[in-house]
């Protein structure tokens, strides 16, 4: 059966990740740690045979993807279908602020109601469909090859659920680390999980260069 190997990456860290502030479609840059993570990621994937790199057009993902393109020479393409979930009026607020200011909506969000969408945002059902369609379209171009997807926490969450057959309301028990390496296999029948949450390239011993 035709298959495409996928390396799926969440972008490097941003200041808003640290502050637990919802980014959604807001275009937030990487912080210094995120830039370091992107460099380490690029070095870790330098010898991987890659047919293509696809990235969300938001700069935190785009900068992370460029670090991989720089070391591998693989072509880089912007893909709006890989954007983070749109969080509407949640965007720019912290988790604590949402709980305090919008308690009813916070409860629905926390309970992962599949069809609930913050005003101006997307529901989990909408995001899952968008990601499934986008990955199918991109992976079908590269059967027999390997590609990289650089996206966001919500996108990686959807990919894990699609690959493991878990619904949108299942409690999350898996890691969505910034710049972690996650591996999936795509066939026309769907996604399967190969490996998840590899952070060997980000281990503490090599972090000294960040402060040098």
Annotated catalytic residue, options 11, 25, 142, 152: 11
Q: 3-class DSSP state for residue 104?
A: helix
CA gap 47, 4 in Å, rounded: 18
- pTM of the entire structure? 0.95
Q: Looking at residue 206, what is its pLDDT?
A: 55
CA torsion 154-179-145-167 (nearest 10°) is -30
Q: What residue ranges do the domains of the chain occupy?
A: 4-211
Q: Which two tokens stand for residue 136?
A: 């199918």
Quick one: which H or E segment has residue 95? Answer: helix 95-101
Q: Confidence band (pLDDT; 50, 70, 90) for 211? A: very low
209 catalytic, yes or no?
Answer: no
Annotated catalytic residue, options 84, 91, 105, 122: 84
Contact (CB, 8 A) for 119 and 88: yes
Q: Confidence band (pLDDT; 50, 70, 90) for 204? A: low
C-alpha distances (whole Å) from 198 to each of 62, 79, 92, 100, 124 are: 20, 24, 29, 35, 26
Question: Could you write out the DSSP letters of every residue in 26-79?
Answer: S-PPB-HHHHHHHHHHHHHTTTS--SEEEE-SSHHHHHHHHHHHHHH---EEE-
Please tell me the total number of residues recorded for the chain in this structure.
Answer: 212
CATH dotted code for 4-211: 3.40.50.1240
pLDDT tens track for 25-75: 999 999 999 999 999 999 999 999 999 999 999 999 999 999 999 999 999
pLDDT tens track for 106-151: 999 999 999 999 999 999 999 999 999 999 999 999 999 999 999 9
CA gap 7, 9 in Å, rounded: 7
201 catalytic, yes or no?
Answer: no
């Amino acid at each position: 059966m035709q298959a495409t190997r996928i390396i799926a990456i969440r972008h490097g860290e941003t200041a808003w990740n640290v502050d637990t502030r919802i980014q959604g479609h807001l275009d937030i840059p990487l912080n210094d740690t995120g830039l370091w993570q992107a460099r380490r990621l690029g070095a870790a994937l330098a010898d991987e045979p890659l047919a293509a790199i696809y990235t969300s057009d938001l700069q935190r993902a785009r900068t992370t993807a460029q670090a991989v393109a720089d070391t591998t020479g693989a072509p880089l393409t912007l893909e709006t279908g890989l954007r983070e979930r749109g969080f509407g009026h949640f965007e720019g607020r912290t988790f604590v602020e949402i709980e305090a200011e919008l308690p009813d909506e916070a409860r629905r969000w926390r309970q992962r109601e599949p069809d609930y969408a913050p005003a101006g945002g997307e529901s989990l059902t909408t995001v899952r469909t968008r990601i499934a369609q986008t990955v199918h379209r991109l992976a079908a171009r590269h059967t027999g090859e390997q590609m990289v997807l650089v996206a966001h926490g919500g996108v990686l969450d959807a990919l894990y659920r699609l690959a493991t057959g878990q619904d949108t309301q299942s409690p999350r028990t898996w890691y969505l680390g910034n710049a972690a390496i996650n591996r999936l296999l795509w066939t026309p029948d769907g996604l399967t999980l190969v490996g998840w949450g590899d952070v060997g390239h980000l281990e503490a011993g090599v972090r000294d260069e960040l402060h040098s």
